[in-house]
Structure 1
Amino acid sequence: MTIINKIRDKSGLLFLVIGVAMLAFILGDLFSRNYLSQGNDRIVGTIAGEEITFQQFSNAFETFKNNYESNVGRPARDVELPGLRQQAWQQLVFEIAYTKEFEKLGIQVTSDEMTDMIQGNNINPAFGNLFVNQETGEVDRGAIKNFLASLPPGPPTNPGHAFFLNFEANLRPNRLREKYEGLINQTYYATEAEAKREYESQNTKADIRYVYVPYTNIPDSAVDVSEGELKSYYDDHKDDFERDGTVSLDYVTFPISPTAEDIEEIKKELDVIVDRFASTQNDSIFIDANSETNNNFQIFTPKNLPKAIDINELELGKVVGPVQEGDFYRLYKVIDITEDTVNTFARASHILIKADDSNKAEARSKAQDILNQIRNGADFAEMAQQHGEDGTKAVGGDLGWFDDKTMVTEFNDAVMNASSLGLIPRLVETQFGFHIISVTGLKNNKNFLMGVVEKEIVPSDDTRNEIYRKTTPFGSDRSKENFMKASELDSSIIRYQALNINKEAQSINNIYDRNIRTIITWAFREAEVGDVSEILELEDQYIIALVTGKTEDGIAEFEDVKDEIKRILVKEKKKAQLMAKMEGLSGTVDEIRLAYGPGATVSSATDISLSSTSLPSVGFAPVTIGTVFGMAAGESSAPIADENGILVVEVDKIDEASELAEYSIYKQQLEAAQNNVNTVAQKISSVISDYAEVENELYKYY
């Protein structure tokens, strides 16, 4: 394989390795939207005091578009775009904010380093792996030099050339980032004292008993919190209620669904080609010309044959349909019939009367009576619905087609050995009970190759236009008053609510259409409370929205967090009441439990360490565990207010960790935890974003 081909084959992997610099963002569909046609000088954010315009953001990532598509071999999918946009923004943060830090510290990547990483003694592993000699397992530097010599000057002339230019352009910034993060990484260290403390926290063990009273012992309804207390707490803890902005909407929808006339018209379109489909000598060309999907040829067994098709009517060349299945009408043509050498299928219905050793005679008698009634003319399906004792009774006992390995032996043999359709004139006993069986499909081992022509059942243009006309009362006057009035004129119109939608939301309640972001971005970008959106056409409905609430980034309003504060204060008051009662009790934990009365429990825990986080029957209990390791064996604690309730602890035993000569292993553990590459990178990114006062407002446009 040539070097160029190897690069082409592996470039997708290498693209992922070199990371954020190799991202793309496909913008074409966005420019067709009205809300992006307002000029490209709009500000989408700021980085280190530099305003980022929409055009700047777009241009920066248009550069990567062709590279992304060539590396992954396809355009970015809709579901990937939100993530790609955020990664694209992070690349801008890197280029602007990180670069300033590199300059302050004098971090550089010289030309000699670049050469060294491409063809010297320290070749970039992701690049070097493309030139590994299969015999020696070593990087072939000669192959790299030959490859570089083969590249003409100027713009890329082939995928390998384009890939290398991209790799080279991003090698320097990636190396700068590695150096910077490496410098920060080296500032993490653990002292001998910290290592010793870590060792002790892992190896000092305690056995305890405790009495526990949960806060839930006092019902919320028994605790009063005044408006003044709520407001006072809010004023004293405003920083705790920092929130991202949200919007709330009322909205109405007009579902776009096909009418009976639309469905009939689509059926007629297939009706008129049935004869031509049957007579054509070139099924592939005919199907390609008439089918709306690529699901053109399928192999069916009796088990997965569409329910509307009678297997007994199938023969070579026969066309069945149009058959309506879900959102499609389909024609099926039998192209070939072959025998299955592995599986044999049959179809049956049954009525099960369950039996065991305690009721076998009674069950047999009941089943025989049902069989006699059916032999005398009773309807099998009705009798199954009336008497069946398993899940098939709801469908008249129908088991559908099954293969000869599915059913228990007695049942399988009775059906597979049947020579004619209809009722088996005897009861069949299995481990489940007694079965009355009707064979509805004789043993069959045929496979059917079908050519499929299918058309989607969609609303016609006339239907869409008619539904759009129903939206006219909303579109003619985009005021709050008219929105409310119009939604009340027609009783079939339901006004929905969507509360506290966040900036990055990809849906409004259960509406997940790819275009729903249009309304969300409009609401955040320019709408005010009381504004009504334009009529937005989604894939299967029209939607009009009214902005009913809007919060900005910052401290949440008191009314918006009032319930949250109440939960906090209710818990605090419960804590105070229970603490007061527990502080008045004394003795052992068993005596305290008896003195407290119902609601208090005594439990024990063994071998807990300072690194433990929970206790049996209590759950998360960090305060209690921390208190235990400040106590001595035989000592009892005062009441402890923890996350879920009040505890009093008795320490039965403390096993102190023995002294070690040195604690290097624990020092290494601490440093490894701190020096994790991903952790360091995330912390650096967070600090630089804060320091550079990064404001990302892409949510207003995408």
Structure 2
Amino acid sequence: MATLEKIRSKSALLLIFVGAGLLAFIIGDFFTSGRSLFGTGTTIAKVDDSKVDIQEFQRRVQDASQQAQAQNQRMDQAVLQQQVLNAMIAEKLFDQEVKDLGLTVTDQELTDMMVGKNSQYVDRMVQQQLGVPDAKTAHDMAFNPTKYGMQQAQAQQLQAYWIDLEKSVERMLLQQKFQNLFTGTLVANELDAKALYDDNAATSHIIYAKKDFSTLNDDDFEVSESDINALYNKDKNRYVLAEPTRTVNYIAVNIVPSEADMLAGQKKVEDALSALNATPELQGLSDMPEFVADRHKLTQADVNRQARLKAALDSLSVGRATLVSKTGNDYNIVKLFGKGQEVANAKIDFLAVQGTKAQVDSLVAKLNSGVSFDSISASPLVAQSQKDMAVALLDPNYAPVKEIIAGRATGVYFTPDTLAEGGRIFRVSEREAPETVYDVATVTFTTEPSNATINELDAALRKYVDENKDSKSFAENAQEAGYTTFPATVSASTPMIGNLNDSHGAVAWVMDAKKGQVSPVFGDVQSGRFLAVAVNDIYDGGFVPARDAQIHALLAAQARNDKKAAKLIADYEGKAKDVAGYAKLMSVSVDTTTVNFGQYMIPGLGISESAVQGKVANAAKGALVGPMQANNAVIVLQVTDVDSEGRPYDFEENALRFNQQRGASRMMNSLDRILLGNKKVTNNINTFYK
């Protein structure tokens, strides 16, 4: 009883201990699983309230990866992941827009598109991807597998394929409806079409004089931070940030052979050449696995197309090897085994026959008696046929065919088979004349960085990082240490640092780091480099700040140009009566050009000169305009002539141009950005993939 009383008296304290333990367990579990108690859960990205789930994302990444592999594309995994995530975000935006507009696809519309009267598109797709006659057959195979003798696992895969295909087609139909909706509303009226025509119809011929800002000394025009901030605040919306961003400097050290490695590689090549010349065949390379040999035959025409190879073979005797070329770290050696006359190419007719030996012989007799190849090919006994099939007799893959047709007369059908059932029928329809053929081995070798070199590069960069622990010293001391720093901008949606493959680990580190922090060394032999990164600044305020180095420099240049323009205009204004007079004041020559209101670049003046284009468009012929500020100069101009001749106004033509440049077609090209608008996107990819 006394013990029970003690327990009761301490029960509140026990509850506190047990509760604290449970809380520690729960919090620990959340943190060790990579997400906090109030963290991202299974949401890899969010657009306002729409979420992208990690499991669906992983499935889509796997599908995209398999497609890339099937097409022999090697993509950085982080780039692939970001592309998939961008596509899924775009889909979320589109789905919400379609829902808001009330657009749907009916069951009948989907059926017609999949297996009905409009199924031609899907039929072609399943023919290419599955090799079945049409979509109706593919559907029947998926959901009636026993009818086709299919295993359940195969049927499940086909069912999943069909369901995905239905979703894809439904989305395509929704996109068509969406596009049709806006194609019918965003159209040019008479005013739109005429305005577009007028923008491009008149071409003004001008004479001008310009004084470039570069002719004035920058040091004479001091720019203050208030000048920069005034320009920044004037156009602040140009610097909106879609997501928090960090600016970094990085050092990338390519893992390449050292000078000692190159000398060692050269010695290996010399040893390999000695061994090849001292032993028959390729026996000299038996203890040299770094050398890759490929024995094959080349025609004289093949050799003639490669000048260095031709020069090497012309100088070689049979059994000898020589160096053909060295490009960077790559060596190419050739050894000549023989040279003679051979037939390199032929054409054959071929039939695969299902039948008895007697039936095969009967078909051979009919063919040789003059019955047409096409007629025999149509026989139910013929399983496969091909006429005039090109055969490269020097290709090892065609060795069995070469052996079969060797010594056979041209134009005579024969069968090489003596089996009781089935057989093949051949005819040499064409055999080229013998030509010079070289029997050679090409041997390749690449000098790789040694382990010592790799370790030295790694150790040197680690030492530099250890000695320069803040972003300022990281950048300032790089050149003296033999390194070059490069700037980059990084956000959660950035798959790699500075377009360097396999660098997403550094991105993830940057997004967790503090301002001024320097990373550990990333990279290895597989990535081909070592990488270190320093965080210069962190932009979390929704705008790229004016202190950003690139923006600060651009704004400073603009502020300086504004001051130069003000001085030049004050110096010249009203002091001449024509362009020639202003040219004399400016110590420049008069020049000519043409200006069209719709053009992107004015020859002689540059791109995006909208102020000049506007002045010219409104200037009367003969009127003097300026001095005025252009992008990079102060100019004075005069319109000497206006050329309005050209294509006459046509509403249909200009309405079509309007649609392409400013209407529905232009909108569809920018649909993702339009639907995104000012919605907030939260990208949690670095929470899941470090």
State if a TM-score over 0.5 links the two structures: yes
Deviations 1:200-235 (A, max 9, x none): 333345444444444344333332334443344445
Which of residues 249, 254, 278 is equivalent to 2:280? Answer: 278
Partner of 1:683 in structure 2?
670
Q: Distance in 2 between matches of 1:615 and 1:464?
A: 53
Q: Give CA-to-partner distance per residue, 1:355-414, whole Å, 9 cap, x none.
A: xxxxxxxxxxxxxxxxxxxxxxxxxxxxxxxxxxxxxxxxxxxxxxxxxxxxxxxxxxxx
Spell out the pairing of 1:189-268 with structure 2 (5 A cutoff): 189-242=187-240, 245-249=245-249, 251=251, 253=253, 255=255, 257=257, 259=260, 263=265
Shift of 1:171: 0.9
Q: Equivalent residues in 2 for 1:459-608 (5 A)?
A: 459=449, 464=454, 480=469, 494-503=482-491, 514-526=501-513, 528-534=515-521, 536-539=523-526, 543=530, 545-552=532-539, 554-558=543-547, 560=549, 561-594=551-584, 596-599=585-588, 601-605=589-593, 608=595
Conserved 8 A contact 2:250-2:534: yes
Say if 2:598 is the partner of 1:611: yes
Instruction: Decide which of 71, 74, 78 is 1:77's aligned counterpart.
Output: 74
Q: Quick check: 1:108 aligned with 2:104? A: yes
Q: Compare 194-203 and 204-213 and name the one that shifted more.
A: 204-213
Q: Matched residue of 2:248: which SS?
A: strand
User: Partners of 1:208 and 1:491 in 2: how far apart?
Assistant: 50
Deviations 1:432-466 (A, max 9, x none): xxxxxxxxxxxxx9764312454543355576567
Aligned to 2:296: 297
> Within 2, Cα distance between the matches of 1:674 and 1:559?
33
User: What does residue range 305-320 of structure 1 map to in structure 2 within 5 Å?
Assistant: 312=315, 314-315=317-318, 317-318=319-320
SS at match of 2:114: helix
CA distance in 2 between partners of 1:268 and 1:37 (Å): 56
- CA deviation after TM superposition for structure 1 residue 336, in Å: 2.4
Does the CA contact (< 8 Å) of 2:496 and 2:502 recur in 1?
no
**In 2 relative to 1, CA 338–200 (structure 1 residues): closer, same or farther, beyond 3 Å?**
same
Amino acid aligned to 2:469: K
TM-score by length of 2: 0.63
1:177 is paired with a residue whose SS is helix
Identity %: 15
Q: Map residues 133-144 of structure 1 onto 2, 5 A cutoff.
A: none
Preserved CA contact (<8 Å) 1:498 1:508: no
Residue 628 of structure 1 is matched in structure 2 by 616
SS at the partner of 2:117? Answer: coil
> Aligned to 1:549, what secondary structure does the other structure show?
strand
Q: Distance in 1 between matches of 2:463 and 2:641?
A: 78
Q: Is 1:183 the equivalent of 2:201?
A: no
1:536-582 CA-to-partner distances (Å, cap 9, x unmatched) read: 32448663525251333532242634332221111111211222233
User: Aligned-pair distance for 1:175?
Assistant: 1.6
SS at match of 1:555: coil
Instruction: Name the aligned partner's letter for residue 570 of structure 1.
Output: R
Name the structure 1 match of 2:440: 450
Secondary structure of the corresponding residue to residue 121 of structure 1: coil
Tell whether the 8 Å contact from 1:636 to 1:649 is kept in structure 2 after alignment: yes
CA drift at 1:654: 4.8
Question: Structure 1 residue 44: deviation in Å?
Answer: 4.4
Q: Offset of 1:279 from its aligned partner?
A: 5.7
Q: Is the alpha carbon distance of 1:272 and 1:471 closer, same or farther for their aligned partners in structure 2, counting shifts above 3 Å?
A: farther
What SS does structure 2 have at the residue aligned with 1:629?
helix
Q: Does 1:88 align with 2:84?
A: yes
CA distance in 1, matches of 2:156, 2:61: 21
Change (3 A) 1:643 1:53: same
Q: Helix, strand or coil: the match of 2:620?
A: coil
> 1:598 is matched by which residue type in structure 2?
S
Gaps of 5+ in 2: 1-31, 145-151, 344-434
Please give the secondary structure, in 2, of the residue aligned with 1:558. Answer: coil
CA distance in 1, matches of 2:33, 2:294: 39
Q: For the structure 1 residues 250 and 651, does the alpha-carbon distance in structure 2 shift closer, same or farther, using more than 3 Å as the test?
A: closer
The one-letter code matched in structure 2 to 1:626 is G
Task: Tell me what 1:642 maps to.
Answer: 630
* Contact 1:323–1:329 (Cα < 8 Å) also in 2: yes
Cα distance between partner residues in 2 of 1:446 and 1:330? 23
Letter in 1 for 2:657: Q
Contact 1:49–1:692 (Cα < 8 Å) also in 2: no
Residue identity in the other structure for 1:314: S
Q: Which residue of 2 aligns with 1:371?
A: none
SS at match of 1:78: coil
Does structure 1 conserve the Cα–Cα contact (< 8 Å) formed by 2:276 and 2:282?
no
Shift in alpha-carbon separation, 1:78–1:540, aligned structure 2, 3 A:
closer
CA distance in structure 1 between the partners assigned to 2:250 and 2:133 by the alignment:
67
Q: 1:207 to 1:49 in 2, by over 3 A?
A: same
1:618–1:96 Cα change, 3 Å: closer
- Within the candidate set 101, 117, 121, 1:121 is matched to 117
Measured after TM superposition, the shift of residue 130 of structure 1 is: 7.1
Aligned match of 2:166: 168
Alpha-carbon distance in structure 1 between the residues aligned to 2:681 and 2:471: 40
Deviation, 1:88, is 1.0
Say if 1:480 and 1:546, in contact at 8 Å, map to a contact too.
Answer: no
Structure 1: distance between partners of 2:323 and 2:579:
79
Q: Check whether the contact 1:247–1:501 (CA below 8 A) recurs between aligned residues.
A: yes
Alpha-carbon spacing, 1:590–1:110, altered in 2? closer, same or farther (3 Å): same
Q: Note if 1:62 corresponds to 2:62.
A: yes
In 2, distance between residues paired with 1:508 and 1:518? Answer: 9
* Aligned equivalent of 2:94: 98
The CA RMSD over aligned residues, in Å, is 5.2
Q: TM-score, normalised by structure 1?
A: 0.62
1:225 is paired with a residue of what secondary structure?
coil
Return closer, same or farther for 1:458/1:589 CA change in 2, 3 Å cut-off: closer
How far residue 614 of structure 1 moved from its aligned partner, in angstroms, is 5.1
Q: Which runs of 5+ in 1 are unaligned?
A: 1-35, 133-140, 342-444
Q: Say if 1:249 and 1:497, in contact at 8 Å, map to a contact too.
A: yes
Give 3-state SS (helix, strand or coil) of 1:449's partner.
strand
Cα offsets for 1:115-138 (capped at 9, x unmatched): 111232323536458779xxxxxx
Q: Distance in 1 between matches of 2:249 and 2:555?
A: 25
User: What CA distance in whole angstroms lies between the structure 2 residues aligned with 1:673 and 1:491?
Assistant: 48
Maintained 8 Å contact 1:210/1:650: yes
Give SS of 1:494's match.
coil
8 A contact 1:212–1:645 mirrored in 2: yes
**1:274, distance to aligned residue in structure 2 (A):** 5.0
Q: 1:514 to 1:588 in 2, by over 3 A?
A: closer
**1:145-174 Cα deviation digits (max 9, x unpaired):** 455444444654599887655433311122
* Residue 666, structure 1, aligned to residue 654, structure 2: yes
* Aligned partners of 1:290 and 1:453 also within 8 Å: no
Taking a change above 3 Å as real, the CA distance of residues 648 and 662 of structure 1, as seen in their structure-2 partners, is same
| Contact 1:42 1:53 survives alignment (8 Å) | yes
Change in 2 beyond 3 A, CA 1:129/1:277: same
Between 1:331-340 and 1:91-100, the stretch displaced more is: 331-340
In structure 2, what is the Cα distance between the partners aligned to 1:493 and 1:659?
64
Which residue identity lines up with residue 199 of structure 1 in the other structure?
Y
